[in-house]
Amino acid sequence: MTDLTPPQDAYGATPDGFVLKGLDRIVADQQARARAMFGSDVDLTSGSALRKVLDAAAVHVHELWRALENQYYANFITTAQGDALDLLGADLGQKRQQLQATGEIMLALSGATPNRVLVLPQGTVLRSTPAPHHSLRTTAGVTLNTDEFGNAPAVTVAVQAVDRGHDLPAGQAVELEPAWAKAHLALGPATVTVVSPAPIDGGDLVEPDDVYRARLLGAPRTLWTQNAVLARILDVPGVRDAAVFDPLGGVDASQGAFGTYQFGQHRFTPGRRPGSPAFFDVVVAVEPGWPWSQDEGDLPAVYPGVREAVRQWRPISVLPDIRPANQVDVGIRATLVIQPGHDPVAVRGEILATVQAGVDRLRLGHGVLHSDLVLTARSVAGVVDVQNLRLRRGSPGFAEVGYDGAVFGDAEELSVGENLILAADEIAQFGLDTPLIELQVASP
């Protein structure tokens, strides 16, 4: 690969990366060698035999340079692709994961009284029958009802497999997961009929390079840091988000003894004795449908999974206090001005679905911005204006954690333009069936 290029023309591996030699540069180098070997008067015109041989060889040399470039960038996670990225992931102990199968099923309410309404929330757990069971979760909320004559129309809802790499064929028998339904639904004599008319597939595929690369870049390279523990917790199935508080033994304001220390009678701190226990706190937000403890259904519980993940990474005598995050219901009240000819129901549904997707991406402690919701609503086709938009905050379920001012109590409605601020242990959730939503539609 030696050439007669001037020293200032650096090709190959350089401090700034790999510099690919272009085809024109290769041709010029080969012609320079030919003149040095056969004399300056050698015939290198386009019709000469020597020129044709050199041009043919230049194409193969250029392909070799391209292969060297690919090999160079295959050594780095940020630029590797395909099999090269798999090899780098194997070095970190992180294999490329299979995807979760997706599809649609049909649900209908049967055996219910007339005019019965049943709301199945996002994350409703279903399972295939007979054994071995494969669990599914709905990815959106759905409302089932019967009319005044007791008839129940079927409703289609999207589902996602819980286990990676498992597909279900069309016509597979599916039912509500009994333990989950008993804990979360009040069906009474009614039952929910589930039909799977199309296959639930895609589990045989693997995650794409960009998803796998992001996971590898977040893989911990150290044994015990806050980020290393957090990365392991986020890999536990069912964990939406998590936060690690006080990893080095600082002040824990949630403990009952906080604020009772007698500064005038004791030393401020004697320091931790070697071997004595130290504690840190882990707050975990759970995805819809996943049980916190094992008595809530057949799905793997989140709490034991997080506890086991932390146990393998914590130092001796450094113990976790694992607690569920406070789920805060978010609602909105606003007046939508839409253009004539647009379906108000369709516009309302698209706005709510977009807001739900945006709220689902928020992490622990991240509030909901008023401006984001206004921009989301105005981006929907047919919306002319959004007036008097107010955020509403539902009362979170009380948990034994209170970092940074979590609010418990009645629901509240904020002023126009005010953002919904969340504490560090709170995470926002937006349900399409929440009574906190009040959208009025008007024409200009």
What local confidence, expressed as pLDDT, does residue 85 receive?
92
> Quick check: 51 pLDDT over 90?
no
> Quick check: 195 pLDDT over 80?
yes
> Quick check: 254 pLDDT over 50?
no
Of 221, 408, 257, 254, nearest in space to 322 by CA: 254
Q: Average of pLDDT values for 394-420?
A: 64
Q: What is the pTM of this model?
A: 0.67
Of 59, 58, 73, 77, nearest in space to 12 by CA: 73
The two domains 102-195 and 220-324 share their CATH topology (first three levels equal) = no
> Quick check: 400 pLDDT over 50?
no
Peptide bond between residue 169 and the one before it cis (omega within 30 degrees of 0): no
* pLDDT higher at 271 or 184: 184
What local confidence, expressed as pLDDT, does residue 6 receive?
43
What local confidence, expressed as pLDDT, does residue 306 receive?
92
What local confidence, expressed as pLDDT, does residue 223 receive?
64
Average model confidence (pLDDT) across the chain: 81
> Quick check: 103 pLDDT over 90?
yes
* pLDDT higher at 192 or 273: 192
Architecture of the CATH domain 220-324: 2-Layer Sandwich (3.30)
Confidence of residue 9 (pLDDT cuts 50, 70, 90): low
Of 404, 429, 396, nearest in space to 281 by CA: 404
| Beta carbons within 8 Å of 303's beta carbon, 6+ residues apart | 284, 292, 293, 322, 324
- Residue-wise DSSP of 119-131: EEPTT-EEEESSS
Q: How far apart are CA 396 and CA 405, in angstroms?
A: 13
pLDDT digits (tens, 9 = 90+) for 307-324: 988 887 776 667 788 889
306: left (phi over 0), alpha (psi -120 to 50) or beta: alpha
The DSSP bridge pattern shows strands 426-429 and 326-338 to be parallel
Confidence of residue 258 (pLDDT cuts 50, 70, 90): very low
Q: Alpha carbon of 373 to those of 20, 67, 252, 379: distances in Å?
A: 47, 48, 35, 10
Peptide bond between residue 130 and the one before it cis (omega within 30 degrees of 0): yes
What local confidence, expressed as pLDDT, does residue 268 receive?
47
Confidence of residue 7 (pLDDT cuts 50, 70, 90): very low
> Quick check: 2 pLDDT over 50?
no
Structure tokens at 276: 């004595």
DSSP class of residue 114?
Answer: T
Instruction: State the residue for tokens 């070697």.
Output: 274
> Quick check: 48 pLDDT over 90?
no
> Quick check: 264 pLDDT over 70?
no
Confidence of residue 17 (pLDDT cuts 50, 70, 90): confident
The DSSP bridge pattern shows strands 155-161 and 102-110 to be antiparallel
Q: Which of 3-17, 48-62, 139-153, 373-387 has the lowest mean pLDDT?
A: 3-17
Task: Check: CB of residue 162 under 8 Å from CB of residue 100.
Answer: yes
- For the chain, the domains span 12-73, 102-195, 220-324, 326-442
Positions of E strands within 133-286: 135-138, 142-145, 155-161, 174-176, 191-195, 239-245, 278-286
What local confidence, expressed as pLDDT, does residue 119 receive?
82
Q: Average of pLDDT values for 345-372?
A: 88
Confidence of residue 443 (pLDDT cuts 50, 70, 90): confident
pLDDT digits (tens, 9 = 90+) for 197-240: 899 999 889 999 999 998 888 777 666 677 778 888 888 988 99
Confidence of residue 419 (pLDDT cuts 50, 70, 90): very high
Q: How far apart are CA 285 and CA 300, in angstroms?
A: 15
> Quick check: 379 pLDDT over 80?
yes
CATH of 102-195, one of 3.30.70, 2.40.30, 3.40.1350, 2.60.40: 2.40.30
pLDDT digits (tens, 9 = 90+) for 75-101: 899 889 999 999 999 888 888 999 999
Confidence of residue 303 (pLDDT cuts 50, 70, 90): very high
User: What 3-state DSSP class applies to 177?
Assistant: coil
